């Protein structure tokens, strides 16, 4: 939106400079122009727009950005003053202010901003009182500004609603509803994508299968609701321990998979040990007993396909179980 604001300022400044410095119409039409005043307003507006680039708007808050269209209304009010009052050409750029309020701000902030824009447009009433001109402003341009602001705000809200619907649909198709990490469907697609990438770049990756030890006993002793809580806690620990480029997914039941691009066995083992320590700590703090797990890993090589990698990691995980659980194993 900062770029859109700068674009609107650029368009407005161009219009002002063009009218003030080029013979766009007869001299009679420009008889009341104060060219020096218009140029000064254009220069100040340009400096203001450029200076806004240095302001960290994201830290201040969304509504703080209202200073941009508000200042635009003030600049246009000055342009009206320097270009003939009620007969000024500067009423046209108020369209940009209206659209910007509608695009970026809530209905309440946009309404307040439009009140300011209308007052700026009615400013000739202070130095050139004219009831008929004021009524014409209120009957023709002002409704147009309000409609543009409303339509812009409506379009933006509809787009945001559609994006939220798309995001909900994506979560339903890609995310596991219980744990909040990715599901098996997303993992299968991601593994195929990573396999193709590895074949092109020759950069390997690791696939880790993680399974909770004695999870059935937890369910039998504490109930399935508690078991679900454990699964959510483990999933979130896996996710927080992984890197941004890694993919964490629930494979099924109490089994999770972690896809780690650019990682060999030592890195996969270090990840498991770090994650295991965190899960033990959290389980002791939250429930008073340790949750432990076993893991197996497979590493991509030239002959690997999805079935080979999944089968290898799964077999390694079961071998870790056979060797006594609570350990990491790679075939």
Catalytic amino acids? 254
Q: Which two tokens stand for residue 32?
A: 């009341």
Mention every residue, 6+ apart, whose C-beta is less than 8 A from residue 85.
Answer: 32, 124, 127, 128
| H or E stretch at 228 | helix 224-241
Tokens 């504490």 belong to residue: 222
Contact 213, 319 (CB under 8 A): no
293-299/205-212 β-pairing: antiparallel
Taking the C-alpha atoms of residue 190 and residue 184, their distance in angstroms, rounded to an integer, is 10
Residues near 107 by Cβ (< 8 Å), separated by ≥ 6? Answer: 153
> In whole angstroms, how far apart are CA 37 and each of 28, 32, 54, 153?
18, 11, 27, 34
Q: Tokens representing 147?
A: 């409609």
Question: What single string gives the DSSP state of each residue in 67-102?
Answer: HHHHHHHHHHHHHHHHTTGGG-GGGTTHHHHHHHHH
Please list the residues that pair with 299 across neighbouring strands: 206
Q: Which two tokens stand for residue 227?
A: 């078991």
């Amino acid at each position: 939106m900062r770029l859109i604001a700068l674009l609107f300022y650029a368009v407005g400044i161009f219009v002002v400079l063009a009218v003030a410095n080029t013979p766009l119409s007869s001299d009679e039409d420009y008889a009341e122009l104060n060219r020096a005043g218009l140029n000064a307003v254009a220069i100040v507006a340009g400096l203001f727009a450029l200076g806004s680039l240095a302001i960290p708007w994201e830290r201040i808050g969304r509504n703080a950005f209202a200073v941009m269209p508000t200042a635009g209304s003030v600049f246009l009010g000055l342009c009206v003053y320097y270009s003939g009052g009620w007969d000024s050409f500067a009423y046209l750029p108020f369209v940009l202010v209206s659209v910007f309020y509608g695009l970026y701000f809530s209905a309440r902030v946009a309404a307040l901003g439009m009140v300011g824009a209308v007052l700026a447009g009615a400013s000739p009433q202070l130095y050139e009182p004219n009831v008929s001109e004021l009524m014409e402003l209120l009957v023709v341009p002002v409704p147009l500004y309000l409609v543009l602001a409303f339509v812009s705000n409506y379009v933006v809200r509809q787009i945001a609603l559609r994006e939220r619907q798309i995001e909900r649909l994506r979560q339903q198709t890609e995310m596991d509803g219980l744990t909040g990490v990715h599901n098996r469907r997303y993992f299968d697609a991601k593994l195929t994508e990573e396999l193709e990438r590895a074949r092109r770049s020759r950069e390997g990756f690791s696939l880790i299968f993680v399974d909770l030890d004695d999870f059935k006993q937890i369910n039998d002793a504490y109930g399935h609701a508690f078991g679900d809580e454990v699964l959510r806690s483990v999933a979130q620990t896996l996710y927080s321990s992984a890197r941004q480029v890694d993919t964490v997914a629930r494979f099924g039941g109490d089994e999770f998979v972690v896809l780690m691009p650019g990682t060999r066995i030592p890195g996969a083992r270090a990840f498991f040990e770090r994650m295991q320590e965190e899960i033990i700590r959290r389980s002791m703090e939250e429930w008073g007993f340790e949750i432990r797990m076993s893991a197996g890993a497979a590493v991509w090589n030239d002959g690997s396909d999805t079935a080979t990698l999944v089968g290898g990691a799964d077999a390694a995980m079961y071998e870790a179980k056979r060797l006594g659980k609570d350990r990491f194993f790679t075939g």
